[in-house]
Structure 1
Amino acid sequence: MVQVCLNGRRTAADGAGVPMSPKDMARSAAEAVAAGATAVHVHPKTPCGRDSLSPRVLAPVLEAIRARVAVPVGVTTGAWAEPDPAARLARVRDWPVRPDFASVNWHEPGAEAVAAQLLDMGVGVEAGIWSGTDGAARFTRSPLGPRVLRVLAEVTDPDPATAQSSARALLSGLGGAFARPVLLHGEEGGTWPVLRLAGRLGLATRIGLEDTLFLPDGRRAGGNGQLVAQGLVQYARSRPARPAGDRDGTSR
């Protein structure tokens, strides 16, 4: 699984390629899926470019993207979009159009209440576990752990020299993580090293303008479709080579 993360908390100041409107998010999602993405993660935004959990903002984004792609579409529930836990929960409860899944950052206040609400609504939960936080410790104690769709292991270390070590430490802290699937990804300078580690470990991953604006060779990415195409190449190259005897489905 390679998920595309269309825009994240970026703004128009990060370049014209970052999709901000429902129309542009849908177009970018279609390009990414055509390049091989199997799921979409998006941050719905107000006309002024602010992340929002408002039903009036979220619904047009989901409808526009679903008109262009047939893969699962998920959204953020990040506290920066609605800092008050009670207000965040109310926003989620009022969604008239529901995403297929939503990421919930386990280190944020009110995370478990939001996750429980989403599960009650039939929305899959990505448990966002960030490195450098107590998210892993909280999650491994959570009664909701066995019910989440997957663990979104997010390496916040932007240093390409140390991001893989940070990723391994994060995975170690998660332990078995209730035997839930793990999607491992990095951000900024750590994006490509962590994606390649995900390939070596056989884990799901993600790529997109939320995580990086640049291709592996340092060139500015032309859009999410180009990042997904390059991500799939990097991921495939990182996979361990199968023994010669296994290439025809036999072992020797």
Structure 2
Amino acid sequence: MSTDHPAILTCAISGSLADRDQCAAIPYTPAEYAAEARRIVDEGGVHIHIHARSPDGRPSYEIEDFGAISQAIRDEVGDAAIINFSTGTIGVPVEKRIAYLEACRPEVAALNMGSMNYAKYSARRKDFVFQTIFPNPFDEIVALLRAMRDLGIKPEHECFDVGHVGNLAPLIDMGLLEGPLHADFVMGVTGGIPPTARNLAAMADNLAVVGEALPVADGPAGERRAHHWGVIGISRVQWTMLAAALALGGSVRVGLEDNFYLPDGTMARSNGELVAKARGLIEDSGRRPATVAEARAALGVPQRGA
């Protein structure tokens, strides 16, 4: 890979599971989200993934909280970043998730591609410290995808295992997807695919095979656009998975949703510190961070208002 193949640098700004008792830098209020967005953009991030919270820090799926957070970010960074909403949760009706997509119209929305065991295991305790079933049945996937198509929102297919990549095939056959596909491979969750470079390559290979059934439109310069993929590394394995993705031609995501720690083991004081470190990895690999215009072209996301 070379500087002619830029990497999209995404930041997952807060997540919904952790709180400030675990990491003091996690934003709660719209103003705090906006301040983090400024740090992200200033360090080279061009794609911001949002889980909403109420101002007291509780996870929220309310229209007013998604709206206030996304508006605060827009007021701070304008069009310098693509805004991406999460639709992943447990126990929240799909209709409620569609409602905040309809009201707020993010440019991209994450779409989890299959059900799974979702856990955190402690080797020290020889036990699971967290475990649940993460349900993402096909009827909910299809309902969310149909809503995204109607609203002009680009789906980001979050795949926690190889089978989740394969789940794209019936959706393509149903005519629910158009190119370029945009997939992120989530690695490091107990219950999902183990976080190795070989497994990451297998995920990318499977996406290429599945994507053969889907024509990809020409880009603005008349060049054929490939399907796009990136990696989401969970916890401290994030940094090795970023390095593997960059070598394989993928893009990268960091952020306080996924990992609190810099490569040297110190806790990040902001999302900006994580993004700065990821930018350094991109540059050290011989590539460069994508501009927001390049990210839009690679993901198939038009300029806002177009």
TM-score w.r.t. the length of structure 2 is 0.70
Q: Partners of 2:152 and 2:181 in 1: how far apart?
A: 11
Q: 257, 270, 275: which is aligned to 1:210? A: 257
SS class of match (1:96): helix
Aligned to 1:244: none
Contact kept, 8 Å, 2:24 with 2:269, in 1: the verdict is: no
Q: Partners of 1:138 and 1:52 in 2: how far apart?
A: 28
- What displacement does 1:66 show? 0.5
- Pair 1:4-2:2 in alignment: no
Does the C-alpha gap of structure 1 residues 87 and 157 become closer, same or farther in structure 2, counting only changes over 3 Å?
closer
Q: Partners of 2:106 and 2:233 in 1: how far apart?
A: 23
Aligned to 1:21: 29
Letter of the aligned partner of 1:76 in structure 2? S
- What displacement does 1:128 show? 1.2
Q: Partners of 1:187 and 1:162 in 2: how far apart?
A: 9
Does the C-alpha gap of structure 1 residues 101 and 222 become closer, same or farther in structure 2, counting only changes over 3 Å?
same
**Counterparts of 1:92-111 in structure 2 under 5 Å?**
92=100, 95-107=102-114, 108-109=136-137, 110-111=140-141
SS class of match (2:111): strand
Letter of the aligned partner of 1:212 in structure 2? N
- Pair 1:77-2:60 in alignment: no
Aligned to 2:169: 140
For structure 2, list consecutive stretches of 5 or more residues without a partner in the other structure: 1-7, 115-135, 212-225, 288-306
Q: Partners of 1:239 and 1:163 in 2: how far apart?
A: 21
Q: Partners of 2:210 and 2:248 in 1: how far apart?
A: 16
Q: Partners of 1:16 and 1:126 in 2: how far apart?
A: 28
Q: What percentage of residue pairs aligned between the two structures are identical?
A: 24
Q: Over aligned residues, Cα RMSD in angstroms?
A: 2.2
Letter of the aligned partner of 2:204 in structure 1? L
Does the C-alpha gap of structure 1 residues 18 and 163 become closer, same or farther in structure 2, counting only changes over 3 Å?
farther
SS class of match (1:141): helix
Contact kept, 8 Å, 1:201 with 1:239, in 2: the verdict is: no
- What displacement does 1:148 show? 6.2
SS class of match (1:197): helix
Q: Deviations over 1:2-34 (max 9, x none)?
A: 011111122222222011211111100110110
- What displacement does 1:86 show? 4.2
Contact kept, 8 Å, 1:200 with 1:239, in 2: the verdict is: no
Letter of the aligned partner of 1:74 in structure 2? N
SS class of match (2:21): helix
- Pair 1:196-2:232 in alignment: no
- What displacement does 1:139 show? 1.4
Q: 176, 197, 200: which is aligned to 1:167? A: 200
Aligned to 2:119: none
Aligned to 2:118: none
Contact kept, 8 Å, 1:150 with 1:181, in 2: the verdict is: yes
Letter of the aligned partner of 1:138 in structure 2? N
Q: Which has the higher contact order (CA 8 A, sep 6+)?
A: 2
Aligned to 1:43: 51
For structure 1, list consecutive stretches of 5 or more residues without a partner in the other structure: 241-252
Q: Partners of 2:30 and 2:253 in 1: how far apart?
A: 21
- Pair 1:223-2:270 in alignment: yes
Contact kept, 8 Å, 2:157 with 2:182, in 1: the verdict is: yes
Q: Deviations over 1:104-126 (max 9, x none)?
A: 10111211210220121111111
Does the C-alpha gap of structure 1 residues 189 and 165 become closer, same or farther in structure 2, counting only changes over 3 Å?
farther
Q: Deviations over 1:50-89 (max 9, x none)?
A: 3333212210011000011121111100033x53334434
Aligned to 1:62: 70
Moved more, 149-158 or 10-19: 149-158
Does the C-alpha gap of structure 1 residues 215 and 68 become closer, same or farther in structure 2, counting only changes over 3 Å?
same
TM-score w.r.t. the length of structure 1 is 0.84
SS class of match (2:167): helix
